[in-house]
Structure 1
Amino acid sequence: MNQATKAALISAFICPGGGHFYLKRYNTGTLLSVVTLAALIYLLNQAIARAQDISQQIINGQLPLDLSVIYPLITQPPAAEQALYSNIALVAFATSWFIGVIDAYRLGAIADKAE
């Protein structure tokens, strides 16, 4: 398997930026990893906060333990400002992942041609 394919697979399935680390492009790999992980941490933090809020309402007796009541609360869209930041984080996450795979393959192809 050539370096381009290995780098793209590492970036796609292990960690965005991992393919760049494999190709010894540490600055780019670090940037992609940090952007992706920061976006992921933000999205997970929002999901956990929403789950804790709903579970606290159940514990306090404000909500019955009934799926038909809980499901609409889980699936309702967040407030406007929170939705904006969540969308930005989601776009940053997906874009950095996609760019990481494509760029790792491109740099690997250049390295393969040099050999």
Structure 2
Amino acid sequence: MNNRKKALILNLLLCPGAGQLVLKRFKRAILFITIFLITVVYFFSTIVSKIQPLVDKVMAGQLMLTQQAIADEMSKNPIYFDLVLGQQLMIIILSVWLVAIIDGMTVKNKK
């Protein structure tokens, strides 16, 4: 299997930038991996921060861990997530992934 195919598979299945490592394009790899990881971590930390008060109530024993109890609590205190922010973060994640895939298929590896 040649390096471009390896790069394509790694970029598709692992994370953006992994294929650039195979091609010895380290600056590009670091750029893709960094942007991807920062965006993913921010996305999930935003979601976790929204549900953390609910988790804290369950852990403190103030809320039963049943579907009905959680549904009742969420009806009293709904959890809102900024959908526009979520869409923007997903666009960044998918764009970085797509650019890394295209870059890995078109760039020649260093020797």
> Shorter chain as normaliser: what TM range?
0.7 to 0.9
Structure number with higher relative contact order (C-alpha < 8 Å, ≥ 6 residues apart): 1
- Segments of 4+ moved more than 6 angstroms: none
**Partner of 1:17 in structure 2?**
17
Structure 1 unaligned runs (5+)?
none
**Partner of 1:105 in structure 2?**
105
More helix by share: 1
**Partner of 2:85 in structure 1?**
85
1:9 is displaced (CA, Å) by 1.0
The percent of aligned pairs where both chains have the same amino acid is 20
**Partner of 2:35 in structure 1?**
35
**What count of residue pairs does the alignment treat as equivalent?**
104
Q: TM-score, normalised by structure 2?
A: 0.75
1:50 is displaced (CA, Å) by 2.5
CA gap of 1:77–1:106, structure 2 versus 1, over 3 A, is farther
Q: TM-score, normalised by structure 1?
A: 0.73
Q: CA–CA distance in 1 between the matches of 2:98 and 2:71?
A: 32
1:31 is displaced (CA, Å) by 1.2
**Partner of 1:4 in structure 2?**
4
Q: CA–CA distance in 2 between the matches of 1:7 and 1:102?
A: 10
Q: CA–CA distance in 1 between the matches of 2:91 and 2:79?
A: 17
Q: CA–CA distance in 2 between the matches of 1:42 and 1:8?
A: 26
Q: CA–CA distance in 2 between the matches of 1:56 and 1:77?
A: 14
Structure 2 unaligned runs (5+)?
none
User: Residues 8 and 105 of structure 1 are in contact (CA less than 8 Å); yes or no, is this contact kept in structure 2?
Assistant: yes
